[in-house]
């Protein structure tokens, strides 16, 4: 009890600390004063400063930037460390100081509290007008303000109504299977003890009462006429009851109390071994393994299914620019982890790739010396580096390619005042990798404002660095439906340019006839990069005419300032009209580095018969690529993809009929699951393995009571399962579903978005780290990296299970 009490108090301290954090609230004296989080109420105006967590779900009113943008880190919501761009309504951008709030009055009408992190429906009534609200204006509790000095917001949801709390689940009291089995044994033994004592006391009472029968003494030698209360025939029922109590004490050795004590001692000692295991100590962060609870040790040797987060758990969430294809020529000689794995399987030597004799990456070539190490940049090719690109036959295309990388983004340069070095904060690690790659090749992005972007460029004629300022006109932002991003700029030569990057599925169809010169070679390179587990984007551009631009800008601004519910659709439609007739430049390939030893660890776990499921908040494409990189998915596997991301569903969602959308979505998911089961059943004799991939929208319906059993049957028959765009609550529900099979489940994560999953599983393992403290505090075990899971399960778990199972005589 004392041990459990200490563990509960640690969690309680964390709650108290969170509730008593300070935030500035607009008071009656028209100034911002500090108050505790727990005192916030809906409608309060708050001011949040840089690197502070949002105390509640807020509607962003304005920020230090004129256009009302701010950058938010959502590590504790979806596990991603990359920054998200949020933008306030233009109508509230002027609220920039304490005086402007004195006469500010508005009404927010919005949806009821729910757990959906990526959606928000509401309106703002202000100055007689209604403005539609979207997730773009909502700052969720437990996310952090980054790269923005301060923002102003109004509280929409507080406490348990916030989306992160709606995704929380009540922490269960975990007990191991052996403990539960021991309980049953003790219940049986205790029942036997009661039966024996009861039977003996009944017969004892009968015989005692007959000692004096009709005034005659049957057993005179006992002197029943002068007996104590324990043997008094005149009070036989009392004597029988006292004999029952005596029987309980005499036969009490039937219950093995010492077994509980022995097992507790073994568990505590096993926890000490885990905490002091040198092979589980991680020197880089000075993190030893920590057994935060000792009553689950024997479960480690019985794990059947591991449910793991991806970002920060399997991967480092650190993208590196490794390869690119420009003008139909592949550049980049570094081998990815997937390429090394493929080479080892084929029995070939592993070394860096030399593409000088080929038009695409291969698995043979010369060893290339690595240069300086730059975070986000692992590109090696002497044909481009150190200004050598000017000697290439298509140097003009290379110049345009890296200009697009240096300009087409929403990153912010951060200059170190002491060293003068420039680092970048971006919405995604991909974007940061692109900007770093452009800088290393010779196109350094060093400054930006609301209307301009400044570069240091290498002049191919003089060979000197020159400053070039591009006028920033419009940014057409990336969305999951558009799958591309564009910026419009006016260069120093007064040319209007549209610079675009996006997924190959949407970019190739927007190329002009004369802009497809390198299409065949680029497609071939993209396929090679995908096989190497890399994330790819296509780079293109076009020149705009002044008249064409002016006509389009009027339509775009009209759509952007629209107050109707279909504003986003109007903006997307306007962007669609200008993002056409593009000229292909090439494609990029970046690698999300895996945690050290992850592929080997997953391979050994698979050999031990342990299944691995990945539950991630990432996009489907990203999750699939990482699945290949960490050996969770293999080239010979057949993929079963369940998704609601289709043109038909998008058209249906634009109509806004929620009942019809729900009905059609349920039918679609049901059909896809049945087709998947049919594929698996038909391939059982051929021994073909399957990998199941399902997105968050589909998962909502798959977890419905009507479909969950069918979905589970399909998932169990697949060798690997990846759930994309999963909310924290969905992660917990999937874990509960798998746990319901009776198999031992283990969940592993590194952020607050994984807490529900960790608590729901039989065993929870938290990855130690600054941002992962909430996961660690809610877990049963804390380790430094995913690769240590192998030793925790296959060494300590096996040792502990064998010895405890012998003690309780279990098979």
Residue 499 pLDDT > 90, yes or no? yes
pLDDT at position 551: 92
Q: What is the mean pLDDT of residues 779-796?
A: 83
419 in the same domain as 553: yes
List, in order, residues 6 or more apart from 475 with CB less than 8 Å away.
Answer: 410, 485, 486, 487, 488
Same domain, 132 and 159: yes
- Give the pLDDT of residue 366: 32
Query: Does residue 69 share a domain with residue 36?
Result: yes
Q: What is the pLDDT of residue 106?
A: 92
CA angle 497, 476, 472 (to 5 degrees): 50
> Which string of DSSP letters, residue by residue, matches 688-720?
--EEEEE-HHHHHHHTSTTTHHHHHHHHHHSSE
Residue 11 lies in a domain: no
- Residue 103 counted as an annotated binding residue: no
Task: Supply the pLDDT for residue 452.
Answer: 86
Report CA Rg, the chain: 33
DSSP 52: P
Q: Is 797 annotated as a binding residue?
A: no
Cβ distance 767 to 312 under 8 Å?
yes
261 assigned to some structural domain: no
Is residue 771 over pLDDT 70? no
The predicted structure's pLDDT at residue 676? 92
In a domain, 278, yes or no: no
Residue 714 pLDDT grade (very low, low, confident, very high; cuts 50, 70, 90): very high
Q: Which of 101-115, 390-404, 422-436 has the lowest mean pLDDT?
A: 422-436
The CATH number covering residue 762 comes to 3.40.50.1000
Check which CATH number belongs to the domain holding 365 and give it.
3.40.1110.10
In-domain check, residue 387 = yes
**Is residue 584 domain-shared with residue 706, that is, in the same domain?**
no
- The residue out of 570, 592, 614 marking a domain boundary is 592
Is it the case that residue 345 has pLDDT exceeding 60? no
Residue 262 lies in a domain: no
**8 Å CB contact between 745 and 763:** yes
CATH number, domain with residue 94: 2.70.150.10
Of 29-33, 55-59, 245-249, the poorest mean pLDDT is in: 29-33
Domain finish residue from 166, 191, 211: 166
527 and 667 belong to one structural domain: no
- 406 and 514 share one domain: yes
Annotated binding residue 142: no
Asked if residue 235 belongs to a known ligand binding site, the reply is no
User: Does residue 311 have a known ligand-binding role?
Assistant: yes
Mean pLDDT of 61-70: 85
Q: Does 596 appear as a known binding residue?
A: no
Cα 374–584–428 angle (5° rounding)?
40
- Cβ atoms of 567 and 559 within 8 Å: the answer is yes
Confidence of residue 753 (pLDDT cuts 50, 70, 90): confident
Where a domain ends, among 564, 592, 620?
592
What pLDDT shows up at residue 73? 84
In this predicted structure, the answer to whether residue 802 has a pLDDT above a threshold of 50 is no
pLDDT at 674: 93
Find the mean pLDDT for residues 778-807. 71
Q: Is 287 annotated as a binding residue?
A: no
What's the structural domain count of the chain? 4
Residue 548 covered by a domain? yes
Residue 14 falls within a domain, yes or no? no
Say whether both 549 and 494 belong to one domain. yes
Average pLDDT for 41-59: 93
157 and 220 both lie in a single domain: no
First vs last Cα of the chain: how many Å apart? 30
What pLDDT is stored for residue 805 in this prediction? Answer: 46
In terms of pLDDT, which residue wins out, 561 or 181? 181
| 365 pLDDT more than 50 | no
Is the domain of 81 the same as that of 215? no
431 is in an annotated binding site: yes
The CA-based angle 560-114-651, given to 5 degrees, is 45
Confidence at residue 312, expressed as pLDDT on a 0 to 100 scale = 73
- Check residue 767 and give its pLDDT: 83
Checking if the pLDDT of 370 tops 60, the result is: no
pLDDT, position 507: 92
Per-residue pLDDT reduced to its tens digit, 413-441: 877 777 778 888 777 778 889 999 999 99
Q: How far apart are CA 239 and CA 231, in angstroms?
A: 6
- Report how far residue 763's alpha carbon sits from residue 298's, in angstroms, rounded to the nearest whole number: 11
pLDDT band at 325 (very low <50, low <70, confident <90, very high): very high
Residue 62: per-residue pLDDT: 92
d(CA 193, CA 176): 26
**pLDDT value at residue 678:** 92
Q: How confident is the model at residue 74 (pLDDT cuts 50, 70, 90)?
A: confident
Residues annotated as catalytic are 309
Q: In the predicted model, what is the mean pLDDT of the chain?
A: 83
The answer on whether 310 is annotated among ligand-binding residues is: yes
Q: Determine whether the annotation assigns residue 518 to a binding site.
A: no
Q: Is 208 annotated as a binding residue?
A: no
- pLDDT for 735: 93
Q: Does pLDDT of 380 surpass 50? A: yes
| Residue 522 shares a structural domain with residue 587 | yes
CB proximity list for 2: less than 8 A, separation 6 or greater:
none
Q: Is the residue at 142 inside a domain?
A: yes
Domain that holds residue 758: 285-314+595-807
Please check whether residues 567 and 609 belong to one and the same domain: no
Residues 6 or more apart in contact with residue 347 via CB below 8 angstroms:
none
Q: Do 500 and 477 share a structural domain? A: yes
Pairwise CA distance, residues 747 & 793, whole Å: 12
pLDDT at 784: 81
**Which run of H or of E encompasses 790?**
helix 788-791
């Amino acid at each position: 009890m004392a041990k459990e009490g200490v563990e509960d108090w640690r969690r309680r301290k964390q709650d108290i600390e969170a509730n008593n954090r300070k935030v500035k609230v607009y008071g009656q004296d028209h100034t911002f004063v500090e108050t505790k989080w727990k005192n916030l109420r809906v409608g309060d105006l708050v001011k949040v400063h840089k690197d502070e967590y949002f105390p509640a779900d807020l509607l962003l009113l304005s920020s230090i930037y004129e256009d009302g943008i701010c950058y938010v880190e959502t590590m504790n919501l979806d596990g991603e460390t990359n920054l998200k761009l949020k933008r306030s309504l233009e109508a509230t951008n002027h609220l920039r100081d304490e005086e402007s709030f004195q006469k500010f009055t508005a009404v927010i009408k919005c949806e009821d509290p729910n757990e959906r992190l990526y959606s928000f429906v509401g309106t703002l009534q202000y100055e007689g007008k209604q403005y539609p609200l979207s997730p773009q204006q909502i700052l969720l509790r437990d996310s952090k303000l980054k790269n923005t000095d301060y923002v102003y917001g109004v509280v929409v949801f507080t406490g348990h109504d916030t989306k992160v709390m709606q995704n929380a689940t009540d922490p269960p009291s975990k007990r191991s299977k052996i403990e539960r089995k021991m309980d049953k044994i003790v219940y049986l033994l205790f029942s036997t003890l009661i039966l024996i004592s009861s039977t003996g006391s009944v017969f004892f009472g009968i015989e005692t009462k007959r000692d004096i029968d009709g005034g005659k003494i049957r057993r005179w030698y006992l002197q029943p006429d002068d007996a104590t209360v324990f043997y008094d025939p005149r009070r036989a029922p009392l004597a029988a009851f006292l004999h029952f109590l005596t029987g309980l004490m005499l036969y009490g050795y039937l219950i093995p109390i010492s077994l509980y004590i022995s097992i507790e001692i073994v568990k505590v000692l096993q926890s000490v071994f885990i905490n002091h295991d040198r092979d589980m100590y991680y020197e880089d962060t000075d993190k030893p393994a920590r057994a935060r609870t000792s009553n689950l040790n024997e479960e480690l040797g019985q794990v059947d299914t591991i449910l793991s987060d991806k970002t920060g758990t399997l991967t480092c969430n650190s993208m590196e620019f490794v390869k690119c294809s420009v003008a139909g020529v592949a550049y980049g000689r570094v081998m990815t982890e997937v390429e090394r794995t493929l080479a080892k399987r084929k029995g070939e030597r592993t070394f860096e790739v030399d593409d000088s004799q080929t038009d695409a990456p291969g698995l043979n070539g010369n060893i290339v010396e690595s240069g300086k190490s730059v975070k986000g940049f692992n590109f090696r090719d002497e044909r481009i580096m150190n200004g050598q690109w000017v000697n290439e036959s298509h140097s003009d295309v290379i110049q345009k390619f890296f200009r697009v990388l240096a300009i087409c983004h929403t990153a912010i340069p951060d200059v170190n005042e002491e060293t003068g070095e420039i680092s970048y904060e971006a919405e995604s690690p991909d974007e940061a990798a692109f900007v770093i790659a452009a800088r290393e090749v010779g196109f350094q992005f060093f400054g930006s404002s609301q209307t301009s972007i400044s570069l240091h460029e290498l002049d191919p004629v003089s060979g000197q660095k020159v400053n070039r300022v591009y006028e920033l006109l419009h940014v057409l932002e990336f969305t999951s439906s558009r799958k591309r991003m564009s910026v419009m700029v006016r260069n120093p030569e007064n040319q209007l340019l549209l610079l675009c990057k996006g997924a190959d599925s949407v970019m190739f169809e927007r190329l002009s006839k004369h802009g497809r010169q390198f299409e065949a070679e680029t497609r071939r390179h993209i396929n090679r990069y995908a096989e190497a587990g890399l994330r790819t984007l296509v780079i293109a551009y076009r020149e705009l005419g002044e008249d064409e631009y002016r006509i389009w800008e009027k339509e775009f601004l009209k759509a952007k300032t629209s107050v109707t519910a279909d504003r986003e659709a109007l903006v997307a439609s306007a962007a669609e009209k200008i993002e056409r007739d593009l000229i292909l430049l090439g494609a990029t390939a970046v690698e999300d580095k895996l945690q050290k030893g992850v592929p080997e660890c997953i391979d050994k776990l698979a050999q031990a018969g342990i299944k691995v499921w990945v539950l991630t908040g990432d996009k489907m494409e990203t999750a699939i690529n990482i699945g290949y990189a960490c050996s969770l998915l293999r080239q010979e596997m057949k993929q079963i993809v369940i998704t609601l991301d289709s043109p038909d569903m998008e058209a249906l969602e634009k109509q806004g009929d929620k009942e019809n959308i729900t009905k059609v979505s349920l039918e679609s998911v049901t059909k896809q699951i049945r087709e998947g089961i049919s594929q698996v059943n038909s391939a059982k004799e051929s021994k073909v393995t399957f990998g199941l991939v399902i997105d968050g929208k589909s998962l909502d319906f798959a977890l419905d009571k009507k479909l969950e059993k069918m979905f589970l049957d399909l998932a169990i028959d697949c060798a690997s399962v990846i759930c994309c765009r999963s909310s924290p609550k969905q992660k917990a529900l999937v874990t509960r579903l798998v746990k319901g099979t009776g198999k031992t489940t283990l969940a592993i994560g590194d952020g607050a978005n994984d807490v529900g999953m960790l608590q729901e599983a039989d065993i929870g393992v938290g990855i130690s780290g600054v941002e992962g403290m909430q996961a660690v505090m809610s877990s049963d075990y804390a380790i430094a990296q995913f690769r240590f899971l192998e030793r925790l399960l296959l060494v300590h778990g096996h040792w502990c299970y064998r010895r405890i199972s012998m003690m309780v005589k279990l098979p």
